[in-house]
Amino acid sequence: MTIRPTELTEVLLVEPKVFGDDRGFFFECYKADRYVAVGIACEFVQDNVSYSKAGVIRGLHYQWPNPQAKLIQVLSGAVFDVAVDIRRGSPTYGKWIGEVLSAENHHQLFIPPGFAHGFAVLGDHALVSYKCSTLYEAAGDCSVRWNDPEIGVEWPISEPMLSGKDAAALKLADISPERLPRINS
| Mean of pLDDT values over 74-80 | 98
pLDDT tens across 8-33, in order? 999 999 998 989 999 988 888 898 99
- Residue 49's contacts (CB-CB under 8 Å, 6 or more residues apart) are 75, 127, 128, 129
Residue 61 designated active-site: yes
C-alpha span between 159 and 5 (Å, rounded) = 30
Domain layout of the chain by residue ranges: 43-179
Q: Which of 35, 62, 107, 130 is catalytic?
A: 130
The predicted structure's pLDDT at residue 60: 98
Could you read off the pLDDT of 113-135 as tens digits, one per residue? 999 999 999 999 999 999 999 99
What's domain 43-179's superfamily in CATH? Jelly Rolls (2.60.120.10)
- Which entry of 61, 106, 107, 117 is annotated as an active-site residue? 61
Per-residue pLDDT band at 62 (split at 50, 70, 90): very high
Q: Is 106 a catalytic residue?
A: no
Q: pTM for this structure?
A: 0.94
Instruction: Residue 129: name the closest of 174, 75, 61 by CA.
Output: 75
